[in-house]
A and B are shown apart, each in its own frame.
Chain A
Amino acid sequence: MTDKDMRFDYLLRLGDNSLILGQRLAEWCGHAPMLEEDLALTNIGLDLLGQARMFLSYAGEVEGKGRDEDRLAYFRDTKDWRNLLLLEQPNGDFAKTMARQFFFDAFQYLQFEGLAKSSDDRLAGIAAKSLKEITYHRRHSADWIIRLGDGTDESHERIQGAIDDLWGYLPEMFDMDAVDDAMLADGFGVDVAALRPVWDDYVNGVLAEATLIRPADSWSVRGSREGKHSEHLGYLLAEMQFLPRAYPDAKW
């Protein structure tokens, strides 16, 4: 891989994370357990969509083959997506959505804090801007973890179950592969492996306050960086990409 290919891949990872989670949150529109949450989830989804647009536009320019944000969002198949497996997992109930959100918010906050110091001004600018929004996201999801964990017997049981179910998807967030190493070396990217202890401290604190138990590390899955995804991504893409594929170049 050339340096250009690696930058393209790195930007896709960032953009795809935001876009896939944003799409999942959009599925809650009109279905959240209360009006405030309907607004919150779709607002957070919109922030993520905004991030995705900035990353994918940048990725398309780096690639230099004339693909813009829409082309990258709507005309790639599962094997070309680079989002974390965690983020494509189905919404499940509200507890599962919040657990997924909380783990990612805690990670993304630290990742973007690092990216805001990237030697690349454009990447640093996107990260610094997004960090302001992620601060709100993280507070929101952490509040819900505490509220559900330290709530009723049923809410406690559901959120603990969601955390247990998702735990094996988390190690992938902190993996470093050849692209990550190269991007770190030239000051473009961040060392996500090094974020693990800080993430652990933060997550452990919230789980303790929520009277929840941190699961033991056992199974784990990975593969998104090579385009190996769970079956769920295909269904998500089918819905997200249907219109532009059925009516190419359709305009509002």
Chain B
Amino acid sequence: MVALAVKDELIEILALVKDPEIPVLSIADLGIIRRVEEGENGHPVVVITPTYSGCPATEVIEADIASMLKLHGVPDFEIKTELSPAWTTDWITAEGRRKLKEYGIAPPANRGKVALLGHEEVSCPQCNSNRTEQVSEFGSTACKAQYKCLDCLEPFDYFKCV
């Protein structure tokens, strides 16, 4: 077993790694770190999840994790990617959602609520109005859709709920 104290320390180091496409978010905010476990040779194994299948950030994130760990004096480790259960935007932390909104990206709706309402309620990150309209379901990166606000008229990105 990787000792509990060491594990916490490793997770703290990992939380310093930023998402390359939305640099206000850490990979911990995004829910990309599944867990840290002990490998066969006693080295820590960092288990992460990809967000979108084709997301080019995935490999950058792995490289960033490796350099962050080395920078903090952890020379031997393994990074493992696990697909199941598939990543969902519900794993983005409350802190992550707050940072997204501050950055001007509307945070994803909760999946349970979407199922209940039958649609996604997206509020404007600038003025909080709920009168918003989807411009396109696809945006500048795999995780975003394009919206506009009908009150303040600003266009904005919405982090898609998956």
Contacts and interface: CB of A to CB of B under 8 A. Distances in A.
Tell whether A pairs with B.
yes
Contact of B86 (A40, A49, A53, A128): A128
Interface in A25-40: 36-37, 39-40
Chain A residues touching B, range: 20 to 34
A126 interface: yes
Interface in B4-35: none
Interface string B127-162: 000000001111110100010000000000000101
A177 B141 CA distance: 38
Contacts of A184: none
**Residue among A22, A43, A44, A128 facing the most chain B CB atoms (10 A cut-off):** A43
A36 B54 contact: no
Nearest to A40: B138
A105 to B, nearest CB: 13
A130 B53 contact: yes
A46 B54 contact: yes
Given A121-B84, A124-B84, A130-B53, A47 B142 contact: yes
A116 to B, nearest CB: 9
Interface residues of B, number: 21
B55 A50 contact: yes
B83 interface: yes
B138 A54 contact: no
A187 to B, nearest CB: 17
Interface in A109-123: 121-122
Given A132-B162, A136-B160, A51 B139 contact: no
A133 B139 contact: no
A112 B72 CA distance: 42
A54 B54 CA distance: 10
A37 to B, nearest CB: 8
B52 interface: yes
A129 interface: yes
Contact of A50 (B52, B84, B160): B52
Interface of B: 50, 52-56, 83-87, 135-140, 142, 146, 160, 162
Given A129-B50, A132-B86, 15 more contacts: A22-B54, A36-B146, A39-B136, A39-B138, A40-B138, A43-B139, A46-B52, A46-B142, A51-B53, A51-B54, A121-B84, A122-B83, A125-B86, A128-B83, A133-B52
